[in-house]
């Protein structure tokens, strides 16, 4: 099939472990930024979105074990209850691995609906742990779930763009 000057075939490059690790580390760094006031309530969970992306796109390389390890790192970095993020990210990874075939069938808008459900369950784990430890539920905390869901589409496009290379017409 001949290609026009505007449409060249796009080939996904193989993902290196270093690229996956660096994207998770950047997400950990973004979660560690000093958020205050309303920004703290609206703060997306960058690590959750990145882990969900990799669990749905590379489930054989990024899975529950890595999500647990990253969750432990997030607990230490956030100085939160030890195991809170590990539990939440483990459940998130399980949902991502289970839905990876389904999410790839949909466009980004339809994926966002599924991502919202998985992220809402993750935030429910945070809320339940907070409720058990402190004795009350923090409902505005679920606003972060909405901002995390809104982050799905741009993050997906950005990580997919980093994987693409244009095939040279002459080759």
Please indicate, yes or no, if residue 94 is contained in any of the structural domains. Answer: yes
pTM for this prediction? 0.84
Give 14-25 as a 3 state SS string: CCCHHHHHHHHH
In this structure, the number of other CB atoms found within 10 A of the CB of residue 112 comes to 18
Average pLDDT, the chain: 84
Please indicate, yes or no, if residue 1 is contained in any of the structural domains. Answer: no
Please indicate, yes or no, if residue 87 is contained in any of the structural domains. Answer: yes
Please indicate, yes or no, if residue 171 is contained in any of the structural domains. Answer: no
In this structure, the number of other CB atoms found within 10 A of the CB of residue 19 comes to 15
Please indicate, yes or no, if residue 128 is contained in any of the structural domains. Answer: yes
Please indicate, yes or no, if residue 28 is contained in any of the structural domains. Answer: yes
Q: Render pLDDT for 43-92 as a digit per residue (tens, 0 to 9).
A: 899 999 999 999 998 988 898 999 999 999 988 888 777 888 999 999 99
pLDDT at 2 over 50: no
State residue 146's pLDDT score: 94
Smallest Cα–Cα separation from 164: which of 18, 2, 3, 19? 19
State residue 40's pLDDT score: 81
CATH number of residue 29's parent domain: 1.10.1760
Please indicate, yes or no, if residue 131 is contained in any of the structural domains. Answer: yes
Please indicate, yes or no, if residue 3 is contained in any of the structural domains. Answer: no
Q: Render pLDDT for 105-150 as a digit per residue (tens, 0 to 9).
A: 888 888 999 999 999 998 898 889 888 888 888 788 789 899 999 9
Give the domain range for residue 81: 11-166
Domain count, the chain: 1
State whether residue 154 is helix, strand or coil: helix
More confident residue, 6 or 125: 125
């Amino acid at each position: 099939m001949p290609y026009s000057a505007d449409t060249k075939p796009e080939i996904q490059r193989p993902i290196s472990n270093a690229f996956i690790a660096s994207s998770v580390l950047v997400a950990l760094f973004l979660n560690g930024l000093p958020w205050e006031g309303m920004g703290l309530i609206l703060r997306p969970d960058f690590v959750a979105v990145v882990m969900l992306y990799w669990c749905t796109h590379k489930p054989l390389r990024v899975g529950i074990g890595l999500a647990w390890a990253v969750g432990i790192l997030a607990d230490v970095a956030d100085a939160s209850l030890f195991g809170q993020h590990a539990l939440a990210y483990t459940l998130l990874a399980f949902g991502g691995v289970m839905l990876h075939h389904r999410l790839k069938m949909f466009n980004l808008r339809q994926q966002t609906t599924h991502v919202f459900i998985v992220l809402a369950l993750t935030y429910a784990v945070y809320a339940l742990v907070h409720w058990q430890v402190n004795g009350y539920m923090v409902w505005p905390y679920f606003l972060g779930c909405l901002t995390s869901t809104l982050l799905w589409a741009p993050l997906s496009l950005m990580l997919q763009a980093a994987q693409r290379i244009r095939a040279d017409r002459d080759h």
